[in-house]
Amino acid sequence: MAVIVVTWNSAPVIPEFLASLPEGMDGLDWRLVVADNDSADDTVELIRSLAPDATVVQTGRNAGYAAGVNAALGAAAGREDGFRAALVCNPDIRMRHGCAGLLVDALGAPLAGGGRVGISVPLLYGEDGALQHSLRRESRVTRALGEAVIGNRRAGRFPLWSELVTDPSAYGRATVADWATGALMALSRDCLDACGPWDESFFLYSEETEYCLRAGDRGFATRLQPAASAVHLGGDSQVSPRLWTLLTLNRVRLYGRRHGTAATAAFRAAVLLRETSRAALGRPASRAAARA
C-alpha cells in the first residue's frame, strides 16, 4: 500500500505524523511517499531523518495539493512492485490503531444500488475529541439556500437543505456520501486507474470534492468506515479569510463544470446570500468571500 502525503512547510506537524504511522498502518505492507511543495522550513530534512526509507519527491514549487498527490502517486506507481491501494492523507492526521487496514478492507465492496466502494474514509475527530462532520452531499441550489437561511449545521440533518451531513446516525454506520473531507482517504487502484490524475486546476480545496464526484460518475462510491478513526488537527479554512475565499470560489467553479449556465448563476447567488448573511454576523472570512 502506498501512503501518500503532500507537505508544504509542515515541520511543526510532520514528526508526530510519522511517529503515528506504525500504529495506524498496523497489519499492512506499506511504504511512504511524500511530495514536498518547496517547503521553506526543514520539512524534507525531518522526513529524511525520521523516515529514511520514505520516497521524497521534491516538486520544486508550491504546485498545489492535487499536483502533489499526482507527483507522489506517480512515484509510487513507478516502483517495480507498484501498489494495490493508496492512502492519501494530510500531515496533520493522526491515525488511531489499525485505521488504514479497516479502510483498505472496505474497498471494492459491492453496493446494493450498483457500483462498489472506491474511496473509504474514517471518522475524524478534533484534538478536543469532538467528532468532525466530514461527510458531504453534492452542491445544489436548494442546499446553498438552506445553509444561507438556517445555517449548515441545522440544515445538515435534511438532505435537501445542506451539503454538510450532520445527522448523528450517518456517522454510526457505513454511510455512502457524495464526497468527504480529504484529510484521510483510502482509494482502490481500480478507482485511481478509472479516474486518472487529480485535477491540478484546483490549487487548494475542492480537489477532493471533484475527485469523489468523478469517481461516483464512474461507479466508485465514497463510503464511511465508522470502525476506523483518526484525529485531524486541521481546520484553518474556517477562520482564514483568504482560504475561505478560495474554498468558496472553487466550490462555485466546480458547480459550474457540472451544471448549465442558468443553474450556476442561481447557485452563485445562493452562495453569495450565504456569505453575505454570515458577514452581517461579523464573520471576516465570509465578508472576504462575499467581496471576491
CA distances from 258 to 115, 138, 210, 289 (A): 21, 11, 10, 22
Average pLDDT over residues 71-98: 93
CA distances from 74 to 31, 88, 189 (A): 14, 13, 13
Query: In this structure, how many other beta carbons lie within 10 angstroms of the beta carbon of residue 172?
Result: 11
Please write the tens of the pLDDT for every residue from 220-269: 999 999 999 999 997 555 567 888 888 899 999 999 999 999 999 999 99
What the block records as the C-alpha cell of 205 is: 480545496
With H, G, I as helix, E, B as strand and everything else as coil, classify residue 258.
helix
Average pLDDT over residues 89-94: 97
Selecting from 3.40.50.720, 3.30.1050.10, 1.20.1560.10, 3.90.550.10, what CATH number does the domain 2-138+178-234 have? 3.90.550.10
Residues paired with 116 in a beta bridge? 110, 220
Q: What is the pLDDT of residue 142?
A: 95
Q: How would residue 94 be classed by pLDDT, with cut points 50, 70 and 90?
A: very high
Choose among 186, 20, 35: nearest CA to 100.
186
Choose among 163, 148, 166, 149: nearest CA to 286.
148
Q: What is the pLDDT of residue 156?
A: 82
Please write the tens of the pLDDT for every residue from 106-152: 999 999 989 999 999 999 999 999 999 999 999 999 999 998 888 87
Q: Where are the domains of the chain?
A: 2-138+178-234, 241-291
d(CA 222, CA 84): 17
The answer for residues whose C-beta is within 8 angstroms of residue 225's C-beta and 6 or more apart is 102, 103, 105, 106, 120, 121, 122, 174
